[in-house]
Amino acid sequence: MSYHHILIPVDGSSTSQVAIQHAAKLAKAFGSKVTAICVLTVDPFVAVEFINSDEFSKEYLNKVKEEIEQILVDTKNLFAKEGVAIETRIIEGQTIHKEIVDTATTLNADLIIIGSHGRKGFKKFVLGSVTQALLGETHVPVLVIKE
């Protein structure tokens, strides 16, 4: 089995960094194309309830995009250390796991590598799990890396 296109969602966390290391090694071994994405969740209610001006809204989104761009630059640098070139994208949407599934489909990715905090019990119930939701909705194989 060989993987031609690996999708790796990143968020700048230490768990994501561990997943990046695994993805770089697999990509190098298989000669896979890699796309790293970071999902910018756009909550339509934030603008209504908490942001009273367009200027504040634009400033907030620009700041978040700058932080995401830095995460993607850092990700690209980590892959470069392993000798693997990658593409990066910022994906905007409302539900992280759905954006990952849609991106995997659009890019024709044949493997998703994602880090997981491995929360259990009540914490998982309260905090939710992007990885768990992703597993339930995608037909693409998923390699879950726990920290």
Residue carrying the six token digits 């992703």: 134
pLDDT of residue 9: 97
Mean pLDDT, the chain, whole residue set: 86
pLDDT of residue 62: 87
Residue carrying the six token digits 């200027």: 55
pLDDT in tens, 54-103: 666 778 788 889 999 999 999 999 999 999 999 999 999 989 999 999 99
Q: What share of the chain is helix, strand, coil (3-state, %, to 5)?
A: 55, 20, 25
Name residue 91's beta-bridge partners: 39
pLDDT of residue 46: 54
Q: How confident is the model at residue 125 (pLDDT cuts 50, 70, 90)?
A: very low
pLDDT of residue 116: 86
Q: Quick check: 123 pLDDT over 50?
A: no
The CATH number covering residue 56 comes to 3.40.50.620
Number of C-alpha atoms within 13 angstroms, CB side, residue 31?
Answer: 1
What range does the domain containing 115 cover?
5-146
When divided into structural domains, the chain yields a total of 1
Question: Cα–Cα distance between 134 and 143 in angstroms, integer?
Answer: 11
Least confident of 34-38, 55-59, 84-88, 128-132: 55-59
| CB contact at 8 A, 86 and 79 | yes
Q: Which helix (H) or strand (E) holds 34?
A: strand 33-41
8-state DSSP, 142: E
| CB contact at 8 A, 79 and 19 | no
